Amino acid sequence: MKKLLVLGVAAVLAAACMKLPEVPTLGEVQLPVAAQEEEVWTSTDYEGKPVLIVFMGSWCPYCKMSMPALNAVAQKYGDKAEIVGAFLDQDPKAVQKVAKEHGLNTKVLYNAGNVAESMEVSGLPHAVVFDKKHRAVKVWEGFSPTLEQEFDAQLERLSK
């Protein structure tokens, strides 16, 4: 009986010492906006709002295929959530060109490689939705024909 009690106490202590996985947070991210005038997008300006960031590359065909989904949710939730396309490209002109060609109507950021690396982005497109406290809620890797519905469902729930 003593052995069982000691083992039980040891198990409880071991469980208490285990580190629980942390929920990734957005933190303070600053990225340049690919626009005519120099502007910087700062994530902390949107505290209290959900944020959807889709990491893309101007060269990526699957990223281009995901742009209509991004446009649709930007149109529907643009006043309730911050929705941005964050391009890994370092050249703002390349980003502006692809955004214009595909009618991307969100804020378009560039030079997002370091941010993507810190968020462990391993493929494109890569989308992350953060709640109002900027905690990661859902991550998408790659293109899916259901992206618009998936983005919509998350943003609908978070923007209430």
Q: What is the CATH number of the domain that holds 70?
A: 3.40.30.10
Is position 71 within any domain? yes
Is position 2 within any domain? no
Is position 45 within any domain? yes
Domain that holds residue 60: 25-158
**pLDDT tens-digit profile, the chain (160 residues):** 555 444 444 444 444 444 434 557 898 999 999 987 779 999 999 999 999 999 999 999 999 999 999 999 999 999 999 999 999 999 999 999 999 999 999 999 999 999 999 999 999 999 999 999 999 999 999 999 999 999 999 999 998 8
Is residue 109 within 8 Å of 32, Cβ to Cβ?
Answer: yes
Is position 18 within any domain? no
Is position 88 within any domain? yes
Domain count, the chain: 1
Question: How much is the pTM?
Answer: 0.84
Is position 46 within any domain? yes
